[in-house]
Amino acid sequence: DVPELRALIGEVAAEQLERSGSDDPRGVSAALRVCFTRLMKSEKKFFVDQLNMLVKRISQEVAEGKDTSGSNGDLLLRLHSQYPGDIGCFTIYFLNLVRLEPGEAMFLGANEPHAYLHGDCVEIMACSDNTVRAGLTPKFIDVLTLCEMLNYTPAPSSSKIFPAAQSQLDPSVYLYDPPVPDFAIMRIEIPASIKLYLISAMDSASILLVIQGTAVGTSTAAASEMSLHRGSVLFISANESISLHLSSPDEMLLFRACCLL
Protein backbone atom coordinates (compact mmCIF):
# COMPACT_ATOMS: atom_id res chain seq x y z
CA ASP A 1 0.00 0.00 0.00
CA VAL A 2 3.07 2.29 0.19
CA PRO A 3 4.40 2.55 -3.38
CA GLU A 4 7.66 4.19 -2.30
CA LEU A 5 8.42 1.22 -0.03
CA ARG A 6 7.38 -1.23 -2.73
CA ALA A 7 9.86 0.41 -5.09
CA LEU A 8 12.65 -0.17 -2.58
CA ILE A 9 11.97 -3.83 -1.88
CA GLY A 10 11.10 -4.67 -5.50
CA GLU A 11 8.11 -6.34 -7.13
CA VAL A 12 9.38 -9.90 -6.66
CA ALA A 13 9.83 -9.51 -2.90
CA ALA A 14 6.55 -7.60 -2.54
CA GLU A 15 4.62 -10.29 -4.41
CA GLN A 16 6.28 -13.02 -2.33
CA LEU A 17 5.01 -11.32 0.82
CA GLU A 18 1.53 -10.84 -0.65
CA ARG A 19 1.31 -14.52 -1.59
CA SER A 20 2.40 -15.76 1.84
CA GLY A 21 -0.65 -16.73 3.88
CA SER A 22 -1.31 -16.82 7.61
CA ASP A 23 -1.47 -20.63 7.41
CA ASP A 24 2.21 -20.70 6.44
CA PRO A 25 4.20 -18.98 9.24
CA ARG A 26 7.54 -20.03 7.76
CA GLY A 27 6.60 -18.58 4.40
CA VAL A 28 5.60 -15.27 5.98
CA SER A 29 8.85 -15.10 7.96
CA ALA A 30 10.92 -15.89 4.88
CA ALA A 31 9.11 -13.23 2.87
CA LEU A 32 9.55 -10.64 5.62
CA ARG A 33 13.26 -11.44 5.77
CA VAL A 34 13.63 -10.88 2.03
CA CYS A 35 11.65 -7.61 2.10
CA PHE A 36 13.44 -6.17 5.11
CA THR A 37 16.87 -7.17 3.82
CA ARG A 38 16.14 -5.61 0.43
CA LEU A 39 15.09 -2.40 2.19
CA MET A 40 18.13 -2.19 4.45
CA LYS A 41 20.55 -2.93 1.60
CA SER A 42 19.06 -0.27 -0.68
CA GLU A 43 21.47 2.16 -2.28
CA LYS A 44 21.45 5.36 -0.21
CA LYS A 45 20.56 7.74 -3.00
CA PHE A 46 17.69 5.50 -4.06
CA PHE A 47 16.11 5.18 -0.62
CA VAL A 48 16.61 8.90 0.13
CA ASP A 49 14.82 9.77 -3.11
CA GLN A 50 11.96 7.41 -2.30
CA LEU A 51 11.75 8.72 1.25
CA ASN A 52 11.57 12.30 0.03
CA MET A 53 8.80 11.30 -2.39
CA LEU A 54 6.90 9.60 0.42
CA VAL A 55 7.26 12.55 2.77
CA LYS A 56 6.16 14.95 0.03
CA ARG A 57 3.11 12.82 -0.79
CA ILE A 58 2.05 12.43 2.84
CA SER A 59 2.60 16.14 3.52
CA GLN A 60 0.35 17.02 0.58
CA GLU A 61 -2.34 14.62 1.78
CA VAL A 62 -2.19 16.13 5.27
CA ALA A 63 -2.48 19.64 3.81
CA GLU A 64 -5.55 18.50 1.85
CA GLY A 65 -7.14 17.12 5.01
CA LYS A 66 -6.93 13.48 3.92
CA ASP A 67 -6.66 10.57 6.32
CA THR A 68 -3.05 9.33 6.30
CA SER A 69 -3.40 6.79 9.13
CA GLY A 70 -3.14 3.91 6.64
CA SER A 71 0.41 5.05 5.87
CA ASN A 72 1.22 6.00 9.49
CA GLY A 73 1.48 9.55 8.17
CA ASP A 74 1.79 11.40 11.48
CA LEU A 75 4.50 9.04 12.70
CA LEU A 76 6.40 9.15 9.42
CA LEU A 77 6.50 12.96 9.34
CA ARG A 78 7.55 13.16 12.98
CA LEU A 79 10.40 10.66 12.53
CA HIS A 80 11.55 12.31 9.32
CA SER A 81 11.68 15.69 11.05
CA GLN A 82 13.89 14.14 13.74
CA TYR A 83 16.02 11.95 11.42
CA PRO A 84 15.74 13.38 7.89
CA GLY A 85 16.88 11.02 5.17
CA ASP A 86 17.16 8.07 7.61
CA ILE A 87 16.23 4.62 6.31
CA GLY A 88 14.73 3.86 9.70
CA CYS A 89 11.71 5.94 8.66
CA PHE A 90 10.68 3.03 6.41
CA THR A 91 10.94 0.43 9.18
CA ILE A 92 7.65 1.63 10.70
CA TYR A 93 5.91 -0.44 8.03
CA PHE A 94 7.45 -3.64 9.41
CA LEU A 95 6.64 -3.02 13.08
CA ASN A 96 3.60 -2.78 15.32
CA LEU A 97 2.84 0.68 16.67
CA VAL A 98 2.33 0.13 20.40
CA ARG A 99 0.98 2.65 22.91
CA LEU A 100 1.64 1.68 26.50
CA GLU A 101 -0.59 3.08 29.23
CA PRO A 102 0.81 3.93 32.69
CA GLY A 103 1.44 0.70 34.59
CA GLU A 104 1.58 -1.50 31.48
CA ALA A 105 4.69 -3.37 30.40
CA MET A 106 5.89 -5.20 27.33
CA PHE A 107 8.43 -7.99 26.91
CA LEU A 108 10.73 -8.19 23.89
CA GLY A 109 12.73 -11.33 23.33
CA ALA A 110 16.21 -11.56 21.88
CA ASN A 111 16.62 -10.42 18.27
CA GLU A 112 13.28 -8.58 18.19
CA PRO A 113 13.56 -5.13 16.58
CA HIS A 114 12.05 -2.21 18.46
CA ALA A 115 12.31 1.54 18.86
CA TYR A 116 11.22 3.85 21.67
CA LEU A 117 9.44 6.82 20.13
CA HIS A 118 8.06 8.98 22.90
CA GLY A 119 7.54 9.07 26.66
CA ASP A 120 9.34 7.69 29.69
CA CYS A 121 9.72 4.06 30.67
CA VAL A 122 11.71 1.86 32.99
CA GLU A 123 13.70 -0.74 31.08
CA ILE A 124 15.40 -3.86 32.39
CA MET A 125 17.46 -6.25 30.32
CA ALA A 126 19.83 -9.17 30.66
CA CYS A 127 23.58 -8.59 30.38
CA SER A 128 24.28 -7.86 26.72
CA ASP A 129 27.01 -6.42 24.56
CA ASN A 130 25.42 -7.03 21.18
CA THR A 131 22.93 -4.23 20.53
CA VAL A 132 22.64 -3.91 16.75
CA ARG A 133 20.95 -0.82 15.29
CA ALA A 134 18.91 -0.39 12.11
CA GLY A 135 18.30 3.34 11.94
CA LEU A 136 16.85 6.39 13.67
CA THR A 137 20.12 6.76 15.54
CA PRO A 138 23.39 8.66 15.20
CA LYS A 139 25.22 5.51 16.32
CA PHE A 140 26.82 2.80 14.18
CA ILE A 141 24.47 0.72 12.02
CA ASP A 142 25.51 -2.84 11.15
CA VAL A 143 23.14 -3.81 8.33
CA LEU A 144 24.54 -7.27 7.50
CA THR A 145 24.55 -8.49 11.11
CA LEU A 146 21.15 -6.96 11.73
CA CYS A 147 19.41 -8.62 8.79
CA GLU A 148 20.95 -11.97 9.66
CA MET A 149 20.10 -12.01 13.37
CA LEU A 150 16.55 -10.62 13.44
CA ASN A 151 13.55 -12.71 14.41
CA TYR A 152 11.07 -12.31 11.54
CA THR A 153 8.19 -14.19 13.16
CA PRO A 154 5.14 -11.91 13.05
CA ALA A 155 2.99 -11.43 16.14
CA PRO A 156 0.32 -8.99 17.31
CA SER A 157 1.39 -6.30 19.75
CA SER A 158 -1.13 -7.65 22.27
CA SER A 159 1.01 -10.76 22.67
CA LYS A 160 3.89 -8.63 23.97
CA ILE A 161 1.99 -6.59 26.56
CA PHE A 162 1.31 -7.83 30.06
CA PRO A 163 0.02 -6.27 33.30
CA ALA A 164 1.58 -6.33 36.74
CA ALA A 165 0.37 -8.76 39.38
CA GLN A 166 -0.28 -7.28 42.82
CA SER A 167 1.51 -9.12 45.61
CA GLN A 168 -0.69 -11.01 48.04
CA LEU A 169 1.87 -10.46 50.80
CA ASP A 170 2.39 -6.73 50.25
CA PRO A 171 -0.34 -4.67 48.50
CA SER A 172 2.23 -1.95 47.74
CA VAL A 173 4.18 -4.29 45.43
CA TYR A 174 3.24 -5.01 41.80
CA LEU A 175 5.34 -7.64 40.04
CA TYR A 176 6.21 -7.71 36.32
CA ASP A 177 7.40 -11.27 35.71
CA PRO A 178 8.41 -11.83 32.05
CA PRO A 179 8.63 -15.32 30.50
CA VAL A 180 12.40 -15.56 31.06
CA PRO A 181 14.35 -16.37 34.25
CA ASP A 182 16.94 -13.61 33.75
CA PHE A 183 15.10 -10.75 35.43
CA ALA A 184 11.88 -9.33 36.84
CA ILE A 185 10.86 -5.91 38.04
CA MET A 186 8.68 -4.65 40.88
CA ARG A 187 6.70 -1.43 41.06
CA ILE A 188 6.43 -0.32 44.68
CA GLU A 189 3.77 2.29 45.51
CA ILE A 190 3.95 3.37 49.15
CA PRO A 191 0.92 5.46 50.23
CA ALA A 192 1.56 8.82 51.90
CA SER A 193 -0.14 7.50 55.04
CA ILE A 194 2.71 5.01 55.60
CA LYS A 195 5.78 6.57 57.23
CA LEU A 196 7.80 3.40 57.83
CA TYR A 197 8.16 0.78 55.11
CA LEU A 198 10.31 -2.34 54.90
CA ILE A 199 11.78 -3.41 51.58
CA SER A 200 11.97 -7.16 52.02
CA ALA A 201 15.10 -9.22 51.57
CA MET A 202 15.45 -11.42 48.48
CA ASP A 203 17.67 -14.34 47.52
CA SER A 204 19.20 -12.26 44.72
CA ALA A 205 20.79 -8.84 44.62
CA SER A 206 18.57 -6.06 43.29
CA ILE A 207 18.64 -2.43 42.18
CA LEU A 208 16.20 0.14 43.52
CA LEU A 209 15.25 3.24 41.52
CA VAL A 210 13.38 6.12 43.16
CA ILE A 211 10.90 7.83 40.83
CA GLN A 212 8.90 9.87 43.33
CA GLY A 213 9.06 10.78 47.03
CA THR A 214 11.78 11.12 49.64
CA ALA A 215 12.92 8.86 52.47
CA VAL A 216 15.85 7.93 54.65
CA GLY A 217 16.96 4.34 54.32
CA THR A 218 18.70 2.20 56.91
CA SER A 219 20.22 -1.24 56.62
CA THR A 220 22.45 -3.52 58.63
CA ALA A 221 24.79 -3.65 55.62
CA ALA A 222 25.08 0.14 55.29
CA ALA A 223 27.56 2.11 57.35
CA SER A 224 25.25 5.14 57.59
CA GLU A 225 21.78 6.34 56.75
CA MET A 226 20.95 6.77 53.07
CA SER A 227 19.03 9.79 51.82
CA LEU A 228 16.75 8.74 48.97
CA HIS A 229 14.92 11.07 46.58
CA ARG A 230 13.82 11.24 42.93
CA GLY A 231 16.64 9.83 40.79
CA SER A 232 18.36 7.93 43.60
CA VAL A 233 19.63 4.46 42.74
CA LEU A 234 20.37 1.93 45.47
CA PHE A 235 22.09 -1.44 45.24
CA ILE A 236 20.59 -4.01 47.61
CA SER A 237 22.63 -7.11 48.36
CA ALA A 238 21.10 -10.58 48.48
CA ASN A 239 19.36 -11.30 51.79
CA GLU A 240 19.45 -7.61 52.74
CA SER A 241 16.37 -5.63 53.78
CA ILE A 242 16.01 -1.84 53.78
CA SER A 243 13.92 0.20 56.20
CA LEU A 244 12.53 3.38 54.69
CA HIS A 245 11.52 6.33 56.86
CA LEU A 246 9.32 8.37 54.52
CA SER A 247 9.52 12.14 54.76
CA SER A 248 7.35 13.20 51.79
CA PRO A 249 3.69 14.27 52.00
CA ASP A 250 3.05 12.38 48.75
CA GLU A 251 3.21 8.69 47.97
CA MET A 252 6.57 7.14 47.13
CA LEU A 253 7.10 5.34 43.82
CA LEU A 254 9.98 2.90 43.42
CA PHE A 255 11.04 0.31 40.87
CA ARG A 256 13.10 -2.71 41.92
CA ALA A 257 15.01 -4.78 39.35
CA CYS A 258 15.76 -8.30 40.53
CA CYS A 259 16.00 -11.96 39.65
CA LEU A 260 13.41 -14.36 41.06
CA LEU A 261 15.44 -17.39 42.09
> Mind telling me the catalytic residues?
133
Q: Is the dihedral of CA 90, 91, 95, 100 positive or negative?
A: negative
Amino acid at 241: S
- The Cα–Cα gap between 87 and 51 comes to 8
DSSP state of 95: S
- The Cα–Cα gap between 19 and 15 comes to 6
Distances (CA, A) of 27 to 1, 8, 18, 22, 154: 20, 21, 11, 9, 11
Q: Is the dihedral of CA 153, 156, 159, 163 positive or negative?
A: positive
Order of strands, edge to edge, in the sheet holding 242-246?
Answer: 196-199, 242-246, 215-218, 226-228
- The Cα–Cα gap between 251 and 193 comes to 8
Helix (H, G, I), strand (E, B) or coil at 125: coil
Give the gyration radius of the chain's Cα atoms: 23
Beta-bridge partner residues of 253: 189, 212
- The Cα–Cα gap between 135 and 142 comes to 10
